């Protein structure tokens, strides 16, 4: 999963990148990538029970682009908007301005595509192109009203039509309010919360400067210093948590002696979609899925015991995957 860090000049987004990824050697003028794991203790427990040789956690990739260039953000799942809550900055206005930038970016794409689409329809009419045109006009109407596309209700067909456009105002987003080092527990937090709620945004607050400095310490010193500041969770933990919230993710596991692995999928996803997450061949040749939830398996201790107790279920393509499901896909290609 890729998370793009965006923000206006001076908001401290590269410092946020350092705080979240732990990377110190950063070149502000270059494209930076930072990979972090989401350490799920459930997966560690499963690997211990099954004696898996390898553990593979969910991985998040944070993207820090130089400057402010929305056109350079491609193939990302989540937007993290960094707002600098510093002296001389109007953080409420920055939230509104960024929303406007996303809308203008999407509107530009729509307005460039529609005239070309009109010409294509004139020379070679088709229902597919007409549907695309009507969907884009629907999007344009929303954007013209200064409404982000994530608030626009679309049918499944319309969703499919615009899927390839990578519209920014349709992507999951959260705001990170970057406080200065004198505002770790300020009264201003109530105002910040109100700004986020007014704009229907999930948000997290942290002081990136302090959090980045913590990353330079060894584990023992870092934990001790964090406790002295009243920081129960690291910047990374808080950002990962809110990322999963805005993405509405659940996690399923595949557990073998060779490898125990965590797989994030959207809440409400079906077994056939989970199969495709692992490999297209598994989705194509799907026969059935053997499923048991984490708590039931841990209580049983083995798959055989779970089977004896009737807790290992056989499910079809339409089964809705639950958070913590352990799934073994049966397929034939």
Q: What's residue 185's pLDDT?
A: 55
SS3 string, the chain, reads CEEEEECCCCCCHHHHHHHHHCCCCCCCCCCEEEEEEECCHHHHHHHHHHCCCCEECEEEEEEECCCCCHHHCCCCCEEEEEEEECCCCCHHHHHHHHHHHHHHHHHHHHHHHHHHHHHHHHHCCCHHHHHHHHHHHHHHHHHHCCCCHHHCCCCHHHHHHHHHHCCHHHCCEEEEEEECCCCCCCCHHHHHHHHHHHCCCEEEEECHHHHHHHCCCCHHHHHHHHHHCCCCCCHHHHHHHHHHHHHCEEEEEEECCCCEEEEEEECCCEHHHHHHHHCHHHHHCEEEEEEEEHHHHHHHCCHHHHHHCCCCEEECCCCECCCCEEEEEEECC
- Predicted pLDDT at 25: 76
How far is residue 118 from each of residues 112, 131, 140, 142, 161, measured CA to CA in Å?
11, 12, 15, 20, 16
Q: Which residue has the tokens 């999007």?
A: 139
* Architecture in CATH of 268-331: Roll (3.10)
2-38+59-90+171-246: CATH number: 3.40.50.300
d(CA 213, CA 100): 33
* Whole-number Å distance between alpha carbons of 253 and 119: 49
| Angle at alpha carbon of residue 178, lines to 175 and 182, rounded to 5° | 150
For position 62, what pLDDT does the model report? Answer: 94
- Predicted confidence at residue 132, as pLDDT, reads 95
CATH number of this structure's domain 92-168: 1.10.150.300
243 exposure class (CB count in 10 Å sphere: 0-12, 13-18, 19+) = buried
| Mean pLDDT, contiguous 10-residue spans, the chain (333 residues) | 91 92 77 89 96 95 83 84 89 93 95 95 93 96 95 93 92 93 69 90 92 86 82 88 93 96 96 96 96 96 93 96 97 90
Tell me if 278 sits within 8 A of 284, measured CB to CB.
no
What is the rounded CA–CA span in Å between residue 104 and residue 179?
Answer: 28
Per-residue pLDDT at 184: 55
**pLDDT value of residue 182:** 67
Q: Can you give the pLDDT at residue 126?
A: 92
State the pTM of this model: 0.86
Q: How far is CA 94 from CA 80, 88, 169, 323, in A?
A: 14, 12, 16, 36
**So where are the chain's domains?**
2-38+59-90+171-246, 92-168, 268-331
Put the strands of the sheet holding 286-293 in their side by side order.
Answer: 55-56, 260-266, 249-255, 325-331, 286-293, 313-315
Of the candidates 99, 110, 107, 51, the residue with the CA atom closest to the CA atom of residue 257: 51
């Amino acid at each position: 999963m890729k998370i793009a860090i965006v923000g206006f000049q001076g908001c401290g987004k590269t410092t946020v990148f350092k705080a979240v990824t732990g990377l110190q050697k950063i070149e502000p003028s270059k494209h930076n990538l930072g990979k972090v794991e989401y350490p799920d203790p459930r997966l560690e427990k499963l690997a211990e029970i099954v004696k898996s040789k390898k553990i593979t956690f969910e991985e998040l990739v944070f993207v820090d682009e130089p400057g402010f260039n929305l056109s350079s953000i491609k193939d990302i799942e989540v937007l993290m908007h960094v707002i600098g809550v510093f002296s001389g900055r109007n953080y409420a206005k920055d939230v509104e301005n960024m929303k406007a930038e996303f809308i203008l970016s999407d509107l530009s794409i729509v307005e460039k595509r529609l005239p070309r689409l009109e010409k294509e329809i004139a020379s070679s009419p088709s229902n597919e192109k007409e549907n695309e045109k009507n969907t884009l006009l629907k999007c344009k109407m929303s954007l013209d009203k200064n409404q982000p596309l994530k608030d626009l209700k679309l049918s499944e067909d319309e969703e499919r039509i615009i899927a390839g456009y990578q519209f920014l105002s349709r992507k999951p987003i959260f705001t990170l309010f970057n406080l200065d080092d004198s505002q770790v527990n300020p009264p201003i937090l109530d105002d910040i919360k109100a700004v986020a709620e007014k704009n229907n945004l999930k948000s997290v607050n942290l002081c990136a400067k302090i959090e980045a400095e913590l990353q330079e310490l060894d584990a023992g010193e870092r934990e001790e210093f964090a406790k002295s500041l009243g920081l129960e969770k690291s910047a990374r933990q808080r950002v990962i948590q809110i990322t999963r919230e805005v993405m509405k993710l659940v996690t399923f596991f595949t557990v073998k002696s060779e490898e125990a692995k965590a797989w994030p999928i959207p809440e409400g996803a079906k077994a056939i979609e989970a199969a495709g997450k692992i490999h297209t061949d598994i989705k194509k040749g799907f026969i059935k899925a053997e499923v048991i939830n984490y708590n039931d398996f841990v209580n049983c201790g083995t798959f055989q015991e779970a089977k004896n107790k009737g807790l290992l279920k056989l499910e079809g393509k339409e089964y809705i995957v639950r958070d913590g499901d352990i799934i073994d896909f049966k397929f034939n290609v």
